[in-house]
Chains A and B, each alone.
Chain A
């Protein structure tokens, strides 16, 4: 490969040279994953936008009265955890050589990078 293995190949945390060929092979998948996430973000952004614009119009009970926010919180946490672990599972299945560390690095990267910035 002509380009340096140190180069950052996609947004978020890169595997880095320790992972040998997997560093390069994961490039398209992880980049594609980020692109898809952007699209997903817009979808959910739209739901929130509708929610925000509907709120002032509603005559009726608001979310506080309707929802038990406590349970919504842990449901969301479970959902995110499930996305995280299935992402890890699939990535490790695809790049078995490097063991679970790849999956966790890549999936943690949104968390980590948002924490860093």
Chain B
């Protein structure tokens, strides 16, 4: 009877119970992590009640406003980043003392690198980028929202449901030990009958469906909702990269969905897609996984490149050098990224010719990437450069990302890869492109666009310290791994025997402590800025002398984004308008604005998807079936309910918009010298610099 209700779930599955039954350092660590969730939950409930924030909370959760959905993505990603960084630090601490065995058991260590990798890719990097794209793209193309606001909410719900499964595994049961790549047959039913791989499959499959829908949504938005005159070659580069990323999502997520589905069939129903016997072939999984996996790294890096393009032009006060070549390079990278997946397993038995072909294809990608770096450098040349936080990120990116890219070129050569495959060299390489590339782009992007949505800047001084901490921490933590990799240390090892490795491991451990500090500085920056928000206000909405449409709105941006949809006549429209002095011209005619109303659709789907995942993991079939049917019923019901809208009367829009325009026309504004001061109210005055 109990089996029918609880499936495989028993009392002992709960981590806290395990810690009481067998107290040791490993269960102590897992139990403290597990305990953070109920404790955190109670604290959040208390805070919400104390501040009377329940109603606003539900207004957010049911909102279809792209800016709010974007913010929720980012908050989710920050929480997950906390977990990821702590896990990284734990692993580094273990390695620092890992000569002949550290303090972690091998099973625990295996779970740590698996959760860390899965988390960082699927629940940190992707949600961060989706958040940024959500917030920025509709503003950059002059739209009021994304193409399918409700679908956007559903995507967020599915991502959150995946995140829920991933987090609950910390408290109930265990996570997979198969790495973020989850190769069978190790993750198959025979080797791993437990719940770990099931959590892994369901978490990434559910959030993966959300990502596919996000890709559809963003691409339709960019294709169909551009304002009048916003032709493709006038789009800001961040929007271009968002478009390429969406296209990659549309084509690269399906292989992941497919291989998760088949692994699931193997595990749940005893199929033989990837088993060792009965005609199964695990290479199929590995191929499918990397057909997703390689485009995935470009899904992550392209929007970061977009942010870097925006930084290069905005923070040097020039138009982007080689716009067309950057667009072409982005497209080239997007296409090439589908042709190189095999470089992740050069050592797995293909012929030398096949390896050589994929090696060359991989090397080719370095060309368009190099083009971009030169374009950005040329953009800075002779510009009005301010060494503010985003520029620090950009400079760090120039140096560090290039090193990471070059180590990628080394790995792309099959002969060398035979030596370096699965060594710490690889760990150094991918962190080297992910942290200075993706993460720097994300953090810089948050710094740039934060004032747009919340109306105040982040503290410049703290942001700069944060940027330096990330750079220094990264160098210390990961550069030593190139060396240890070449000394033969493999990745994913809990212990090692060579004493020569110890000094490198200790440096790396210190680096990870600095990275932990860097994470705390993100929180500190936001916290202190919120406290000082009165002094950091930028009501005019253009704190950085921006060039694209999003800066042509007040900050915080009203829910309708643009009082009247703007017309675009050239690239860098807003910079052009400011030069001609037409930026804040009065508008003759305002119309009523119709906006989609809040809905519980995404929220319900999130609950159903979480229930479905949890039910499947624990073989609680009743829960799985109920949730599944519930999700379908929800979709059907909402399909037939008329979509609700609410109307904002023209008079109201006029009042707010006219006041802002008038104040901006009359205001004096600040030059770039005062960008970081209190004087910066978000109104830009041209600098009188003589060009060299």
Contact = CB atoms under 8 A, between A and B. Distances in A.
Interface in B279-323: 279-281, 284, 288, 291
Contacts of A53: 281, 284
A57 B250 contact: no
A81 interface: no
A37 to B, nearest CB: 10
Interface of B: 147-148, 212-213, 215-217, 219-220, 223-225, 228, 250-251, 253-255, 257-259, 262, 273, 278-281, 284, 288, 291, 639-640, 643
B258 A43 contact: yes
A28 to B, nearest CB: 5
A47 B216 CA distance: 21
A60 interface: yes
B643 to A, nearest CB: 8
A116 interface: no
A2 interface: yes
Contact of B225 (A28, A47, A50, A93): A28
B642 to A, nearest CB: 9
Contact of B147 (A28, A46, A50): A28
A43 B254 contact: yes
Interface string A51-68: 001100111100000000
A112 interface: no
Majority SS at the chain A contact face: helix
A57 B281 contact: yes
Nearest to B262: A50
Interface size class of A (residues with CB under 8 A): 20 to 34
Nearest to B291: A46
Contact of B253 (A28, A39, A50, A59): A39
B228 A35 contact: no
A39 B220 contact: no
Contact of A2 (B215, B228, B257, B639): B228
Contacts of B212: 39
Contact of B220 (A2, A32, A40, A90): A32
Contacts of A54: 273, 279-281, 284
Contacts of A89: 639
A71 B118 CA distance: 41
B248 to A, nearest CB: 11
A43 B279 CA distance: 22
Residue among A2, A36, A46, A47 with the highest chain B CB neighbour number at 10 A = A46
Interface of A: 2, 27-28, 31-32, 35-36, 38-40, 42-43, 45-47, 50, 53-54, 57-60, 89-90, 93-94
Contacts of A35: 216, 219-220, 250
25 contacts: A2-B228, A28-B147, A28-B224, A32-B148, A32-B217, A36-B216, A39-B215, A39-B250, A39-B251, A39-B254, A40-B254, A42-B250, A42-B254, A46-B291, A50-B262, A50-B273, A50-B284, A50-B288, A53-B284, A54-B280, A58-B279, A60-B278, A90-B639, A93-B639, A94-B643
Given A32-B216, A35-B219, A50-B288, A57 B279 contact: yes
Contacts of A57: 279, 281
A38 B278 CA distance: 33
B295 to A, nearest CB: 11
A69 B273 CA distance: 21
Given A43-B258, A54-B281, A93-B639, 9 more contacts: A31-B224, A32-B148, A35-B219, A35-B250, A38-B251, A39-B215, A39-B253, A50-B258, A50-B262
Residue among A39, A40, A60 with the highest chain B CB neighbour number at 10 A = A39
B219 A46 contact: no
9 A-B pairs with the lowest CB-CB distances in the bound complex, closest first: A58-B279, A46-B258, A43-B254, A42-B254, A32-B220, A90-B639, A39-B250, A28-B147, A93-B640
A2 B219 CA distance: 23
Contact of A27 (B215, B224, B262): B224
A51 B660 CA distance: 62
B254 A46 contact: yes
Given A32-B216, A53-B284, A46 B640 contact: no
Contacts of B639: 89-90, 93-94
Residue among B147, B228, B254, B291 with the highest chain A CB neighbour number at 10 A = B254
A89 to B, nearest CB: 8
Contacts of A93: 639-640
Contacts of B258: 43, 46-47, 50
B228 A43 contact: no
A2 B229 CA distance: 11
A29 to B, nearest CB: 8
Contacts of B215: 39
Residue among A40, A43, A94 with the highest chain B CB neighbour number at 10 A = A43
A46 B284 CA distance: 10
A27 B225 CA distance: 10
Contact of B259 (A2, A46, A60): A46
Contacts of B225: 28
A38 B220 CA distance: 13
Nearest to B253: A39
Contacts of B280: 54
Given A28-B148, A35-B220, A46 B251 contact: no
A71 B225 CA distance: 45
